[in-house]
Amino acid sequence: MVYVKKGIECNQLLICLYVDDLIVTRSDMKEIKVFKTQMMNEFEMLDLGNLTYFLGMEFTEVAERLVMHQMKYASDILKRFIMMNYNPSSSPAEANVKMVMSEEEEEPVDPTLFKQIVGH
């Protein structure tokens, strides 16, 4: 859920709420501190500082910008399925390849494991 607190001169405080996590942003740090103080007086909560991780996404500040990525998530998946030393590919499959059934008998695919790998 995203809430917008409108202020004077087109200033807005944006609040993103997911279950019990909040992201608060605005160009004026003073207004953010006022909002956090009000919230802490009303509710039991902690200020965890600058945004670094939210809903599985990582955030890194680079040149006064916030970059969102999933490097840790991708690394954890590769480690879990013992794929850290595999070569990267910009495309998951070669283009224009015609798929044919193999004559060899292959081991059946575990549907649960497949869904875990592809994220379903």
Report the C-alpha gap between 40 and 62 in whole angstroms.
29
Share of the chain above pLDDT 90, in %: 8
3-class DSSP state of 28:
coil
| Mean pLDDT, range 22-35, rounded to an integer | 84
On whether residue 38 sits in a domain, the answer given is: yes
Residues 34 and 61 in one domain: no
Residues 36 and 15 in one domain: yes
3-class DSSP state of 34:
helix
Beta sheet of 21-25, edge-to-edge order: 2-6, 12-18, 21-25
On whether residue 116 sits in a domain, the answer given is: no
pLDDT given at position 58: 92
What band does 120 get if pLDDT is binned at 50, 70 and 90? Answer: low
Query: How many residues does the structure list for the chain?
Result: 120
Picking from 1-10, 16-25, 69-78, which range would have the lowest pLDDT averaged per residue? 1-10
Q: 3-state SS string over 81-99?
A: CCCCCCCCCCCCCCCCCCC
On whether residue 93 sits in a domain, the answer given is: no
Report the C-alpha gap between 91 and 72 in whole angstroms.
21
- Total structural domains within the chain: 2
- How remote is the C-alpha of 76 from its chain's centroid? 14
Write the pLDDT tens digit of every residue in 79-111: 988 888 888 777 777 778 888 887 788 888 888
pLDDT given at position 10: 67
